[in-house]
Chains A and B, each alone.
Chain A
Amino acid sequence: MFEEYNDYRKTIRDFALKEFTDGVAAKYDRDEEYPDDLRKKSLSLGIIDMQNPAKILIAIEELCRIDAGLGISVTTPYFGAEVLMLFGNDEQREFLNDVYSGKYILGLGVTEPSGGSDVAHIKTTATKKGDKYILNGSKMFITNGAIADYLVVLARTSNEEKPHHGLSTFLLNTKLNGFKANKLEGKLGVRATNTAELTFNNIELSKDDLIGEEGKGFYYIMTFFNISRIYVAAQALGIAEGAFDKILNYVKSNEIKDENTMFGIADISTRIEASKELTYNAASYLFKFEPRPQLTSMAKAYAGETAVYSSEKAMEILGVNSLNENVERIFRNAKIMEIWEGTSDVEKLIISRFILKGE
């Protein structure tokens, strides 16, 4: 699948091999610093091509295969864009061009300190006052939080009997008064990515900052996650492949032939192949505008678990030789795949809900 992009895939891989060297990746990982220079360089690759999501998918996979911290950093500046693309007004869609061109960095704020899985119960409020909304509350673990120019934010605009009916999405300019971002440090992995806790203190939003209709925010965000999860599956697939590359390289160069290791290689490669099939298959539906969310969630959950499995296996098979930072970094990066954009548990809830509905 996606074979027509093989040349493009190679271009991305060559870029990653050249720019994401072990030394560079280790440095950003150690310093927990966002690689803005690499983001700018990556713009020339034409990765962020919304007309052609397959290219995004492939780029994410190949970049994360070399280093997920850097790969994710350079491919998240448009995180949240689909909300504007699908539900925004003309002006907001126009604005996206500046995101795609690299002028602005975008992010998406849904999770709060009190919860990320349970989106319907978020507490941030956007209270209507004349033709303005006053935003108050806090957000937790927001990628790009401290570097973003704009954020797509989910907030409560009314108290409804069903809490998810009272949510709306806004496009927030982070330069507005009352916005504060506190960069969070000490992540296990993907340490080049920027993560922040945000506080909103009486931020004045205009009615033009509302995305789509009031009260539809929950639906917009769920629609968004059903798309964005495919990209997380691609991140995870890339990490799993990267871990497997390290294993193969080690086994071949040390001429390891014992049968237990052979079985390990067979198991890991089977899981990677299954993840790839699931991911590409779900993506092919999504990219034809016939989304099958249960397939996307299966791909995300399974590829996420495979990233963790493969990277743990790399640590195990390489044994004391895994103690160099270029292997252990893969292991540390992998774990986030089971957490963000729906933990594996949440994916399982989604999958079974869709299956039972008979969709």
Chain B
Amino acid sequence: MSNLDEENNILIDTVREFCEKNIDEKKIEEEKIGKNMNSLLASQGFLGAKIGDKYGGSALDDTSYHIILEEISKYSPSIAMKIFMINSLYMPAVINTEYESILSDVSSGKVNVSVDFMNDKYSLDYNSNVSGIIKNILNPDSKNIVLFDKKTIIAESPFKINEKDFMGFKGLKFGDIELDNKYNVVDDKNRKEDIILNSYNDLSAIALGIISGAINKAMEYSKVRTTFGAYLKNYEPLAFKLSEMHSKENILRSILYNNLDKYYTFNFAMDSIVEIARFSVNIHGGYGYFKDFGVEKFYRDAVILKSIFYGNEQLRQLSNHVYSEKLNFI
């Protein structure tokens, strides 16, 4: 079905085993991803999944990288997001620049880095000073942060962080930063769009993990919970919906690992993720509304993933791609 070979299957088992043993998402959400978890992720080669071996990374191919993102998302979308930010956003911005050597410390978990993909207006002066506000950034407690202004730049710590509570990817710190920091240019172009575009499949892998995690929970619950003397799985509307969702999950997995058009894959993932995560909450009844049952987190993260990465802009790109021309949207 999914075009995965023996080696891929071994990797799947390894990641699952790691997650089963080490990941308690409720704790991660409460305490944030700490030093211990960082070292664990580094020692498994997850933090530097795509970073070259020159910098202590695992230099994995796309399929293996996606397996890691998918499997970890089933347990902890927060950890998957962290890995994604390093490998899909930060690394492409710094590779082949003077910053590239920092990747050693990133893949070994020694330093935290971040990328601001939500804002694009800062003031840069000629003394290499950047000011302005970074609103809503994941991982603000970083050594340096990639920013996209007219150019692609890197701001250097220390950062003045105003930490905030946030409903999604809660394992990562979140907040605003009041910038008054030194910066360096890493590219004369703003590379945000091409970096994000190149990460569509990676985001789809995270989405697939969330979808799969949510459906697994729902299916399991439907087999053990009874109402009116029958298992939930024996009620048509519930079984039909779950089966439909399960088939969507498998279609997504198949198009992702068979490397179909990344625009289509990402659209399919974003189109199904919220509905599926929401339904998983529904089927758990009152329990679904509580953290302890480990399903509402998928709903929160699904909505946040979509809010951040999938809006009108991405739909325009999809349409341009389908029409093979830049459409003149009114």
The interface of chain A, by Cβ under 8 A from chain B, is 26, 30, 111, 115-118, 121, 140-141, 184, 186-189, 258-261, 308, 312, 315-320, 322-325, 328, 331-332, 335-336, 338-340, 343-345, 348
Is the CB–CB distance between A260 and B274 below 8 Å? no
Is the CB–CB distance between A322 and B307 below 8 Å? yes
A-B contact list, 12 entries, CB within 8 Å = A111-B286, A117-B285, A184-B290, A188-B296, A312-B278, A312-B303, A315-B307, A323-B166, A331-B303, A338-B282, A339-B285, A345-B235
| Inter-chain contacts of B165 with A (CB < 8 A) | 26, 30, 325
Q: Which residue of B lies closest to A319 (CB)?
A: B311
Is the CB–CB distance between A187 and B307 below 8 Å? no
The interface of chain B, by Cβ under 8 A from chain A, is 118, 136, 164-168, 226-229, 235, 237-238, 274, 278, 281-282, 285-286, 288-292, 296, 299-300, 303-304, 306-308, 311-312, 315, 329-330
Q: Determine the distance from Cα of A338 to Cα of B330 in the docked complex, in whole angstroms.
A: 37
> Given A118-B228, A308-B278, 19 more contacts at CB 8 Å?
A26-B165, A116-B286, A117-B227, A184-B290, A189-B289, A319-B308, A319-B311, A320-B307, A320-B308, A325-B165, A325-B167, A328-B168, A335-B278, A335-B289, A336-B289, A338-B282, A339-B282, A345-B235, A345-B237
Shortest beta-carbon distance from A300 to chain B in Å = 15
Given contacts A318-B307, A320-B136, contact A188 B300 (CB under 8 A): yes
Q: Determine the distance from Cα of A344 to Cα of B288 in the docked complex, in whole angstroms.
A: 14
Which of B166, B235, B299, B312 has the most CB atoms of chain A within a 10 A radius of its CB?
Answer: B312
| Inter-chain contacts of A335 with B (CB < 8 A) | 278, 281, 289, 296, 299
Q: Determine the distance from Cα of A187 to Cα of B289 in the docked complex, in whole angstroms.
A: 6
Q: Which residue of A lies closest to B315 (CB)?
A: A260
Is the CB–CB distance between B286 and A340 below 8 Å? yes
Is the CB–CB distance between A332 and B308 below 8 Å? no
Q: Determine the distance from Cα of A69 to Cα of B292 in the docked complex, in whole angstroms.
A: 20
| Inter-chain contacts of B315 with A (CB < 8 A) | 260
Q: Determine the distance from Cα of A318 to Cα of B238 in the docked complex, in whole angstroms.
A: 32
Shortest beta-carbon distance from A319 to chain B in Å = 4
| Inter-chain contacts of B307 with A (CB < 8 A) | 315-316, 318-320, 322-323
Is the CB–CB distance between A188 and B274 below 8 Å? no
Is the CB–CB distance between B292 and A315 below 8 Å? no
Shortest beta-carbon distance from A197 to chain B in Å = 11
Q: Determine the distance from Cα of A328 to Cα of B170 in the docked complex, in whole angstroms.
A: 13
Q: Determine the distance from Cα of A328 to Cα of B303 in the docked complex, in whole angstroms.
A: 10
Q: Determine the distance from Cα of A324 to Cα of B118 in the docked complex, in whole angstroms.
A: 13
Which of B281, B285, B292 has the most CB atoms of chain A within a 10 A radius of its CB?
Answer: B285
Q: Determine the distance from Cα of A331 to Cα of B299 in the docked complex, in whole angstroms.
A: 10
Q: Determine the distance from Cα of A116 to Cα of B286 in the docked complex, in whole angstroms.
A: 8
| Inter-chain contacts of B228 with A (CB < 8 A) | 117-118, 121
Is the CB–CB distance between B289 and A188 below 8 Å? yes
Given contacts A258-B312, A322-B307, contact A343 B136 (CB under 8 A): no
B304 contact from A111, A323, A324, A325, Cβ within 8 A: A323
Shortest beta-carbon distance from A157 to chain B in Å = 21
Shortest beta-carbon distance from B20 to chain A in Å = 22
Q: Determine the distance from Cα of A141 to Cα of B290 in the docked complex, in whole angstroms.
A: 10
Q: Determine the distance from Cα of A345 to Cα of B238 in the docked complex, in whole angstroms.
A: 9
| Inter-chain contacts of A261 with B (CB < 8 A) | 312
Given contacts A323-B136, A336-B289, A339-B285, contact A312 B274 (CB under 8 A): yes
| Inter-chain contacts of B292 with A (CB < 8 A) | 186
| Inter-chain contacts of A348 with B (CB < 8 A) | 237
| Inter-chain contacts of B229 with A (CB < 8 A) | 118, 121
